[in-house]
Amino acid sequence: MSKPVVGIIMGSQSDLRIMKEAAEVLDELAVPYELTVVSAHRTPLRMVEYGTEARKRGLKVIIAGAGGAAHLPGMVASLTSLPVIGVPVKSSNSIDGWDSVLSILQMPAGVPVATVALDGARNAGILAAQIIGASDKDLGDRLDAFKKSLQTKVESAAKTIETNGWKSAL
Ligand code: RP5
């Protein structure tokens, strides 16, 4: 297995049911990643170590997911110059996900977190691949093929509906 270039971290093991989707799409795109739990509140020193060592260890992008009072993505972004993608997770302690969305989205000037949709871990994985793919031709080509496959799926669905009527698509 090649050296990980994407670090996927999450505040709790309970986030894994969502965050695994980032790992799955990185597998599809053949992007090496690592995945672990780092809690801003329960393991603050581990978070500081992860954030400060990430670039030295060869990571290029960090995907950080958390629910509720979701401080992990922003705090990790404060510790590294790597791009950080934040995934708000609708967790058991969440007020409908809004707490997590707003905690991750409303970062102060100078410390950006690229926030994806609530539970949007798959898009976080795709965005991480796109950031790396901007300067990696082979990965960029795989992403072009991936985008093309999305187009083909929609065109094929449109054709089915147009040919057989909308009821056939239900
Ligand atoms: C957050 O609290 C975690 O990211 C998780 O989404 C949420 C609940 O954590 P657990 O109590 O399930 O460990 O920090």
Pairing between strand 61-67 and 33-37? unpaired
What kind and span of H or E run contains 6?
Answer: strand 6-10
Residues 49-65 have a mean pLDDT of 98
Atom index in ligand 1 nearest the CA of residue 40 equals 14
**For residue range 96-115, what is the model confidence (pLDDT) as tens digits?**
999 999 999 999 999 999 99
Nearest by Cα to 126 from 170, 42, 61, 37: 61
Question: What are the tens digits of pLDDT across the range 70-105?
Answer: 999 999 999 999 999 999 999 999 999 999 999 999
Alpha carbons 52 and 55: distance in angstroms, whole number: 7
> What percentage of the chain carries pLDDT values higher than 70?
99
pLDDT band at 170 (very low <50, low <70, confident <90, very high): confident
Sign of CA dihedral 144, 129, 69, 36: positive
List residues near ligand 1 (CB under 6 A).
10-12, 14-15, 39, 41, 66-68, 89, 91-93
Q: Taking residues 41-63, report their average pLDDT.
A: 98
Between the CA of 11 and the centroid of ligand 1 the distance, in Å, is 6
Amino acid at 22: A
- CA atoms of 94 and 76, how far apart (whole Å): 21
Bridge-partner residues for 37, per DSSP?
A: 10
pLDDT for 1 equals 62
Residue 144 carries which side chain, given as an amino acid letter? D
Residue 168 pLDDT class (50, 70, 90 cuts): confident
111-135 mean pLDDT: 98
Q: Look up residue 116 and give its amino acid.
A: V
Binned at pLDDT 50, 70 and 90, residue 139 comes out as very high
Q: Across the chain, what does the average pLDDT equal? A: 97
Residues 6+ apart with CB under 8 A from 36: 7, 8, 9
